[in-house]
Structure 1
Amino acid sequence: MENLPMRDGLSLDSHFQPIYSLAHRRTVGMEALLRATEQGKALSPPQVYERYIRRDERAAMDLAVVRAHCQHFARTPAAQRWLFLNIDAMTLADLSYVQQLQQIIADSGIPPQLIVLEVLEQALELDAGLLEGVALLREQGCLLAIDDFGVGHSNLDRVCSLEPDFIKFDRHLLRSAVNQQRTRTLLSRLVRLMHEIGALVVVEGVESESDVVVALDSGCDLVQGYYVAMPALVPDRDEQITPRLDAKWDELMNRELLRRKLNRRQLELSRQAFVQTAIALMQGNEFRLAAQPMLNLPDVIRCFLLDQEGRQLGRNLNVRELSEVNRLRFAPLEDTTGAVWSRRSYFQHAIDQPGVLYMSEPYLSMTDTRTCVTLSMAIEIDEQMHVLCSDVMLPK
């Protein structure tokens, strides 16, 4: 690597790891990874960089590694693929280094539009120099990726200000999602949030079959990890990668079809019971008696009744009481008499289309923090418009 302030006996090289598009079923990018040896002993990138303490030395190292990766990548017979390059935020914050980086990219012959500069999320500071450096590289055509999002104290404001093209989720977020249902739900919602700010999502650290299933289920765009392909001078081709991922995709689809079938059956029973309850209410039956068809179903959590302004009439009719411990935990929210739910979609849709049964998207119940859907319908009781509601759990 030319212009690199190397110590004696230190040899540096680069390997590439595929970044794979689940929708396109092919590799769309390669992350360049530093490989180093000293007298035959392998060194990790941190072990190499710790030898260069001064800022100018570390920046020189950064630029030399980028130059070598670009030269190596330019020689590979790859199709149109992005080259993901790790770069220190301090390098991007200094315009003299940014100009050198621009020249390295221009000299490589790789279209700047295929260069993705990766910056660690926790290392970012939104100073004027960094924003200006990123803007200059963007003008050249380069793309920006924020790496390791979700580790430590992630800052959405910082992410939004930089307007990245890619967000790479930290592998620890995936590990947690594999082991905890709540984190798995959060992962999917984080993917949707990143899409809303205009970034594609890469899930890193896909190393096992369980990781693949969770990544596929999250709705992410791209995946990277040992299960997809190991880093190598010449990594696995799509002919090797695609069958591995297709097999897990088929497994997930079969599981999803079964889940949907169970959901449809469960929700059909809930709809039938809901209509019975609505008819009984319109016929003048007392609410607790009218709601029995709903309350008898195992997946129904509660029923409640709203007036035409969305204000709750009376308390919830709960199918079963919470345990004493959980009841005390949510005691401040327990009494919902007089609560106003007019901003909830289940009320707004029902009141806009009286007599039409509506089912909400899954959401977190404020009463006891369980995930549920709400069935709702606007009906007339004693010549006054009311909205009948019932919260229903979905199978996991």
Structure 2
Amino acid sequence: MNNIPMRDSLVLNSHFQPIYSLAHRRTVGMEALLRASENEVSLSPLEVYQRYIRRDERVAMDLAVCAAHCQRFAAAGHAQRWLFLNVDAMTLSDPDYANQLGIIIAESGIAPQSVVLEVLEQAIELDARLLEGVALLREQGCLLAIDDFGVGHSNIDRVCSLEPDFVKFDRHLLRSAVTQQRTRTLLSRLVRLMHEIGALVVVEGVESDSDVVVALDSGCDLVQGYYVARPAAVPDSDQLITPRLDAKWDELMNRELLRRKLNRRQMELSRQAFVQTAIALMQGSEFEVAAKPMLQLPDVIRCFLLDQEGRQQGRNLNSGRNNIGDSLRFSPLEDTTGAVWSRRAYFQHAIDQPGVLYMSEPYLSMTDTRICVTLSMAIEIDEVQHVLCSDVLMPGVGRSL
């Protein structure tokens, strides 16, 4: 790419940072990043943009940068890769400027379908006209990425309404997930939520071994950051990137295999005890007596019995290992006698497949706000269908056992 001299001896250039697909084990995109200097002194992109107060000057500079990015990307021959292009909100907020950007893309020889427009989520909230410019370029074939999701007051409804092709999770969300288990769990669920609205997820800011493990564990699609490759005029090739990530993937898989082995053993004990309880109930034993095999297991929280309409019969039978602090804080929810759990998946699956033991997805228990899974099975007691349930402190995947 030819350097672009601007006023006051300002020189702009392009660096590219790989965006890597964990499933494909290769780079599938490049984010174009502005690099600037003046009299051989480096300037940040923010310092560059602050020099242009007049709208027409700022947009002219932005379009010149986009043109340079496109030309460099096309010259490098990045076949079957996306160009992730940061575009200033001022440029997209005017249909005429947005149309000029479309012309720049076309003249560079890059197919519009290979260009991903990165738009800050906060900018979309503050400038409704920006949506018009984005819509114009999407009609031409460009893709849309919501950038910095997870910063400040992120709005799920706004993201859903835009139907982006990509959602880029902010690096601060990853930092928090590395140090806090709750955020780590939330990260995985946010990934699944983005998948449900039809967007692929890019986790940014992957810089350390811990970052890689958390990103891999989250189920995200693409990763970006210094651990993958640093921005450069000619960034690292996949021959360098892939071995680094493969090593972490193997490490994570070894951990996962061990975890699954332990969970299978624990769940097998729970399954055996659950079946014992179900048989005892069908043979006429009192619930308190029949449930003893379950309640003696260290990971079991409680057992309870539902009728065929999902209404709880009697009280919970607790294992006695409940957190006292939680039981005090959430005491208004403690008594579940007569509660209706018919909307829960564990009830619906049990009713649909009588005699089949089912394990739910992990969820937040209303009774004491702990993450648990529920084992359930529809059985007949005195020729009347009931559903036996047990809450267990164990992660798992909803399936028939």
* Separation in 2, partners of 1:82, 1:296: 56
Q: How far did residue 62 of structure 1 move?
A: 1.5
2:372–2:395 CA contact under 8 A, matched in 1: no
Look up the equivalent residue of 2:145 and give its one-letter code: A
Confirm or deny that 1:112 pairs with 2:112: yes
Q: Say if 2:67 is the partner of 1:71.
A: no
Q: 1:201 touches 1:220 (CA, 8 Å); kept in 2?
A: yes
Q: If the length of structure 1 is used for normalisation, what is the TM-score? A: 0.96
Match of 1:180 in 2: 180
Q: Which ranges of structure 2 fall in alignment gaps of 5 or more residues?
A: 397-401
C-alpha displacement of 1:321: 4.7
1:353 aligns with: 353
Matched, 1:333 2:336: no
Conservation of the 8 A alpha-carbon contact between 2:121 and 2:147 = yes
C-alpha distance in structure 1 between counterparts of 2:127 and 2:231, whole Å: 34
1:85-234 map, 5 Å = 85-125=85-125, 129-234=129-234
| Contact kept? 2:4, 2:12, Cα under 8 Å | no
**Could you tell me how far 1:109 is from its partner in structure 2?**
1.0
1:15 aligns with 2:30: no
Change (3 A) 1:395 1:116: closer
Letter in 1 for 2:178: V
Alpha-carbon distance, 1:90 to partner: 3.0
1:35 aligns with 2:35: yes
**1:4 to 1:162, Cα distance in 2 relative to 1, 3 A:** farther
Partner of 2:202: helix, strand, or coil? strand
Task: Provide the TM-score with structure 2 as the length reference.
Answer: 0.95
Alignment coverage as a number of residue pairs: 396
Partner of 1:254 in structure 2?
254
Provide closer, same or farther for how the CA distance between residues 351 and 395 of structure 1 changes in structure 2, counting only shifts above 3 A. closer
In 2, Cα distance between equivalents of 1:54 and 1:115: 27
- Residue 209 of structure 1 aligns with an amino acid whose one-letter code is D
Question: Equivalent residues in 2 for 1:220-369 (5 A)?
Answer: 220-369=220-369
Give the drift of 1:127: 6.0
Tell me, yes or no, if the aligned pair for 2:27 and 2:238 is still in contact at 8 Å. Answer: yes
Structure 2 letter corresponding to 1:341: W
One-letter code aligned to 1:241: I
Deviations 1:45-94 (A, max 9, x none): 11111111222222222211101111111111323211111012332121
Give the secondary structure class of the aligned counterpart of 1:145. strand
Query: Contact conserved, 2:12 with 2:37, CA < 8 A, in 1?
Result: yes
What are the Cα deviations for residues 166-213 of structure 1, in whole angstroms up to 9, with x where unaligned? 100000011111111111111111111111111111000000011111
Q: Tell me which residue corresponds to 2:81.
A: 81
SS in 2 for 1:369: coil
State the SS of the aligned residue for 2:205: coil
Separation in 1 of the partners of 2:290 and 2:212? 47
Q: Residues 289-319 of structure 1, C-alpha deviation per residue, up to 9 Å, x if partnerless?
A: 1101000000111101111111111221111
Q: Is the 8 A contact 2:3 2:13 kept in 1?
A: no
Q: Percent identity?
A: 83
- 3-state SS in 2 of match to 1:311: coil
Q: Report the 3-state secondary structure (helix = DSSP H, G, I; strand = E; otherwise coil) of the residue aligned with 2:8.
A: coil
CA contact (8 A) 1:346 1:358 kept: yes
Q: Between 11-20 and 90-99, report the one with greater CA deviation.
A: 90-99
Spell out structure 1 runs of 4+ moving beyond 6 A: 1-5
Task: Structure 1: give runs of 5+ residues left out of the alignment.
Answer: none
Aligned residues: CA RMSD: 1.8
Instruction: Determine the C-alpha separation between the residues in 2 that align with 1:257 and 1:239.
Output: 27
**What is the CA–CA distance in structure 2 between the aligned matches of 1:99 and 1:77, rounded to whole Å?**
25
Q: Distance in 2 between matches of 1:38 and 1:5?
A: 10
Task: Identify the range of structure 1 (320-329 vs 247-256) with the bigger mean alpha-carbon deviation.
Answer: 320-329
Label 1:94 to 1:131 Cα distance change in 2 as closer, same or farther (>3 A): same
2: CA distance, partners of 1:103 / 1:52: 23
Pair 3,177 (structure 1): closer, same or farther in 2 beyond 3 Å: closer
Please give the alpha-carbon distance, in whole angstroms, between the structure 1 residues aligned to 2:51 and 2:126: 27
- Aligned letter for 2:134? V
